[in-house]
Amino acid sequence: MNQILDFEKPIVNMREKIIELKKLSADSDVDLTKEVKELENKLDILEKDVYSNLRPWDKVQVARHQQRPTTLDYVGEIFTDFIEFHGDRYYSDDAAIVSGIAFYKGEPITVIGHQRGKATKENIKRNFGMPHPEGYRKAIRHMKQAEKFDRPIVCFIDTKGAYPGKQAEERGQSEAIAYNLIEMAGLEVPIVCIVIGEGGSGGALALGVGDHIHMLEHSTYSVISPEGAASILWKDPNLAEKAAESMKITSEDLKGFGIIDDIIKEPKGGAHRNFKEQAQNIDKSLTKSLNELNQKNVADLLEDRWLKYKNIGKFSETSI
């Protein structure tokens, strides 16, 4: 069963009316071609109006859509000969992060990303895309392997955040995230990060220290979920919509702040509406980034990465 978001209900209702009219016309002698055409024109206008004016909370809902493509969906479509590796060599494997090597345009590459499920059984297996420390240790292990063999790294970001459970904290969740941030900053190979769904808190940032950071048009990237922010600010998670409006978590907001480099356009209605088109859009941005980054020597790559993060949040004071 397809998930229908609240703001999509007028669109769905009109589509149903068009289907009913077509069926009625086919089952009777009444010609309703003109009426159907008028409704289809109105539907086209309505879709353009709704999808081009999505509010931040609407985009949160699109980013969380249960049919939204995942890391493994894109890996299978964009790359070839993907081989997944498992385990952090310390504790265990974490299915909330997938990591491996593949070919991209004939060149070897390391691909790492958060992985959530689309159905209940898979979500339980993947811990709803919320990694444990071993997931981040697995990721950095393969990043260092990529550095050793001079392979570019592509990270797909899609998580509500790192798993906050007691056992994860006992095994060093915070340390694992901090270690990834430090190590990624100094890796001597190109790193491209793409937010494909939710980019939540340090759990997202642990795969997000890259030379180029891209976001899908309707994805989000934030230090906390709107529900979490509402709970802290107003002691009421039901005010998540209000929080989303003020948190500046959309791709447009973050592009304006200089936190991300590029917004990757989504098909009308979101990535789940046309997966092939979305994969092609990501492919174009990824090709452009890697072509640019592969031209840099190691010294320039590291210097530019340092300056990129040094300038985030930079501000100046003026006297009144």
Conformational region of residue 52, where left means phi above 0, alpha means psi within -120 to 50, and beta covers everything else: alpha
Helix, strand, coil share (%) of the chain residues, nearest 5: 50, 15, 30
**182: helix, coil or strand?**
helix
Cβ neighbors of 86 (< 8 A, separation 6 or more) are 93, 138
Site of tokens 């007691």: 166
Number of C-beta neighbours around residue 29 at 10 A: 5
Nearest to 214 by CA among 200, 198, 193: 193
β-pair partners for 85? 99
Tell me the C-alpha distance between 216 and 197, whole Å: 7
* DSSP-derived secondary structure letter, 250: B
Query: What is the structure's pLDDT at 1?
Result: 56
Record the tokens describing residue 241, joined without a space: 């919509």
Query: What is the structure's pLDDT at 171?
Result: 95
Query: What is the structure's pLDDT at 314?
Result: 73
Tell me the C-alpha distance between 284 and 54, whole Å: 25
As separate numbers, helices (DSSP H) first and strands (DSSP E) second, the chain gives 14, 8
List, in sequence order, the alpha helices (H) in the chain.
9-27, 33-51, 56-63, 71-78, 120-125, 133-148, 166-170, 173-186, 201-205, 226-234, 240-247, 251-257, 275-293, 298-310
Apex 141 CA angle, 120 and 219, nearest 5: 45
Cβ neighbors of 236 (< 8 A, separation 6 or more) are 230
β-pair partners for 103? 80, 108
Nearest to 168 by CA among 130, 198, 138: 130
Site of tokens 């016309």: 25
Give 196: exposed, middle or buried? Use CB within 10 Å, 0-12, 13-18, 19+: buried
Largest CA-CA distance found in the chain, in angstroms, rounded: 77
* DSSP-derived secondary structure letter, 151: -
Site of tokens 């890796």: 187
Tell me the C-alpha distance between 119 and 32, whole Å: 40
Give the residue ranges of the chain where pLDDT is below 70.
Answer: 1, 320
Query: What is the structure's pLDDT at 40?
Result: 86
Nearest to 227 by CA among 205, 266, 200: 200
